[in-house]
């Protein structure tokens, strides 16, 4: 077993993990973080993407034992309790989500993109979002969501009240 100290969504964890344990399994099975999805398990679908020290990584290909001292951010860590991040709101408003399996991956790759490029071009949006596969074919709506999120962030609207968004869009359950 390997001792690893990891900060996930702002909370520090001291873990003993097998050397070959994937970050995907650490997040889902040890820490109960369910937004991180396993699709292909081999770095192709992008549904498992999280941020490690601000960089997007496939958690299915990342060994937790190599992450001592790292900061990991998942969808659950994008906004404080009771709030939703502008990217989450933009994805809701674009009505791009069908089954939703791919959505956390798209939101996390969008976060990585907008952290680097405030006003991405269509080409940049398509290139970054090509890291994630959507079997429901929601790409055009997701492209719109990224543009909408960029606009919100540019206007300084980073966080939205979760209760208000729920009521406005009649949402019973929101992934955080």
Binding site for ligand FES (CB under 6 A): 38-41, 43-48, 58, 60, 97-102, 134-136, 138
For residue 98, give Cα distances in angstroms to 14, 38, 95, 138, 142: 37, 17, 8, 7, 11
Q: Are 132 and 106 in contact (CB under 8 A)?
A: yes
Considering beta carbons, is residue 38 or 159 the nearer one to ligand FES?
A: 38
In the block, which residue shows the tokens 């070959």? 20
Considering beta carbons, is residue 36 or 70 the nearer one to ligand FES?
A: 36
* Number of other CB atoms surrounding residue 100 within 10 Å: 14
Shortest Å, Cβ 175 to ligand FES: 12
Considering beta carbons, is residue 128 or 153 the nearer one to ligand FES?
A: 128
Shortest Å, Cβ 39 to ligand FES: 4
Shortest Å, Cβ 137 to ligand FES: 8
Query: 3-state DSSP call for residue 169?
Result: helix
Considering beta carbons, is residue 91 or 160 the nearer one to ligand FES?
A: 91
Shortest Å, Cβ 148 to ligand FES: 17
The first and second tokens of residue 74, run together, are 């998942």
DSSP letter for each residue of 70-83: -EEE-GGGSS-TTE
Considering beta carbons, is residue 4 or 48 the nearer one to ligand FES?
A: 48
Q: Residue ranges of the alpha helices (H) in the chain?
A: 23-25, 86-93, 103-116, 122-129, 139-154, 162-169
Shortest Å, Cβ 124 to ligand FES: 21
In the block, which residue shows the tokens 């208000």? 164
């Amino acid at each position: 077993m390997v001792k690893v100290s990891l900060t996930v969504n702002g909370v520090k964890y001291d873990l003993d993990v097998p050397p070959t344990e994937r970050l995907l399994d650490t997040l889902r099975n040890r820490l109960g973080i369910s937004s991180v999805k396993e699709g292909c398990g081999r770095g192709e679908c992008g549904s498992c993407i999280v941020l490690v020290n601000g960089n997007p990584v496939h958690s299915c290909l990342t060994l937790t034992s190599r992450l001592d001292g790292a900061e990991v951010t998942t969808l659950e860590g994008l906004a404080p309790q009771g709030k939703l991040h502008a990217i989450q709101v933009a994805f809701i408003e674009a009505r791009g989500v069908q089954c939703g399996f791919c959505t956390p991956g798209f939101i996390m790759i969008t976060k990585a993109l907008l952290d680097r490029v405030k006003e991405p071009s269509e080409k940049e949006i398509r290139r970054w979002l090509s890291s994630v596969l959507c079997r429901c074919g929601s790409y055009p709506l997701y492209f719109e969501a990224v543009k909408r999120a960029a606009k919100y962030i540019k206007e300084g609207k980073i966080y939205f009240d979760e209760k208000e968004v729920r009521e406005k869009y009649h949402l019973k359950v929101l992934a955080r």
